[in-house]
Amino acid sequence: MLTGVAKPVVVGVDDDFRVRESIARLAESAGYVPQMFSSAEAFLQSGTLAETACLITDVLMPGMDGLELQRRIRIEYPKLPVIFISARVDDETRRRAIDGGAVDFMYKPFDGADLLCAIDRAVNNSSNEPV
């Protein structure tokens, strides 16, 4: 049955294909529309930002890193929820991400249920309308 309500778009940005695949499967299984990108630059050039309900991004990637991606997004979409995932345990990076407005910061390998809870909280408690 068509309800006319668009499903929220969850974007994943990670240079690791397996991580993108995991995020996409998880998001889709929960009723979200996954859009995956291998780089921050590819995401920003895609035109997908305006429809994004939640962004999940790696911290360290070739080219633009996740912290710079977050900084650029905050200019136009300050309320877009951002969830960071990282393979490196680094308290300073975590602090910078949270201080920059991240709604969560997880370490790889992440638990799928925990990530899904973070996505649900982010999508249901935030507005990604530009201010």
Concatenated DSSP letters of 48-115: -GGGEEEEEEESS-SSS-HHHHHHHHHHH-TT--EEEEESS--HHHHHHHHHTT-SEEEESSPPHHHH
Residue 25 lies in a domain: yes
Q: What is the pLDDT of residues 51-60, one digit of tens each?
A: 999 999 999 9
Residue 51 lies in a domain: yes
Q: Measure the CA–CA gap between 94 and 84, rounded to whole angstroms.
A: 8
Q: How confident is the model at residue 6 (pLDDT cuts 50, 70, 90)?
A: confident
CATH number for 48: 3.40.50.2300
Residue 119 lies in a domain: no
Q: What is the pLDDT of residues 64-84, one digit of tens each?
A: 999 999 999 999 999 999 999
Residue 65 lies in a domain: yes
Q: What is the pLDDT of residues 11-70, one digit of tens each?
A: 999 999 999 999 999 999 999 999 999 999 999 999 999 999 999 999 999 999 999 999
**pLDDT of 31:** 95
Sign of CA dihedral 39, 45, 48, 49: positive
Strands 82-86 and 9-13: unpaired
Owning domain of residue 47: 9-104
**Tally of domains within the chain:** 1
Q: What is the pTM of this model?
A: 0.90
The residues facing 10 across adjacent strands are 34, 54
Residue 75 lies in a domain: yes
Question: In this structure, what DSSP letter does residue 38 have?
Answer: S
**pLDDT of 128:** 44
